[in-house]
Structure 1
Amino acid sequence: MNTTKKLRLGALPKTEATKLTFSCPISLKAELDRYAAVYAQTYGKAVDAATPIPYMLEAFMARDRGFHRKAQKSLPVRAPA
């Protein structure tokens, strides 16, 4: 039985995706590698370090009140077709 506390993101859903490339500090990459290892231990499914990044960004943006206040004042953003 796994008694490890669940991670904040929860199990990652399967979604349609688009590729995005970015650079990050080596220290952040190491943290992402550690997160992926803890995720695998917690949920029993191995993921690479990049897999949780979109979900982390989505969670961050969903909680950013300043972004939402300013976004309400700007034009709506449409997803690419």
Structure 2
Amino acid sequence: MVDLKLGRLPDRTPVKLAITITPDLQSALNDYAALYAQAYGREEPVTELIPAMLAAFLDSDRNFAKARDEARKGRP
């Protein structure tokens, strides 16, 4: 077996998820998208921003990462 520096790529098959949000959250997301466009000079739909926002949130939650690692180690 060849030992490559780049590991095997993870599954990147998109998964569709439907959620219901409050009007206040919708308004905040629209405001965020507007500020994003101002900051980066590029408009992105809220539906494109949400996955990145969720990933950033989960990546920044150290307690979640620790608990997730511990749970995975407990699995066969």
TM-score norm. by structure 2 comes to: 0.67
**Structure 1 or 2: larger helix share?**
2
Flag as ranges the 4+ runs of structure 1 deviating above 2 A.
15-19
Gaps of 5+ in 2: 1-11
Structure index of larger Rg: 2
State, as a whole percentage, how many aligned pairs show the same letter.
34
**With CA pairs under 8 Å and 6+ residues apart, which has the higher RCO, 1 or 2?**
1
Matched, 1:27 2:53: no
Q: Could you tell me whether the CA contact under 8 Å between 1:36 and 1:48 is conserved in 2?
A: yes
Root mean square deviation of aligned Cα: 2.0
Matched, 1:40 2:70: no
Gaps of 5+ in 1: 1-14, 77-81
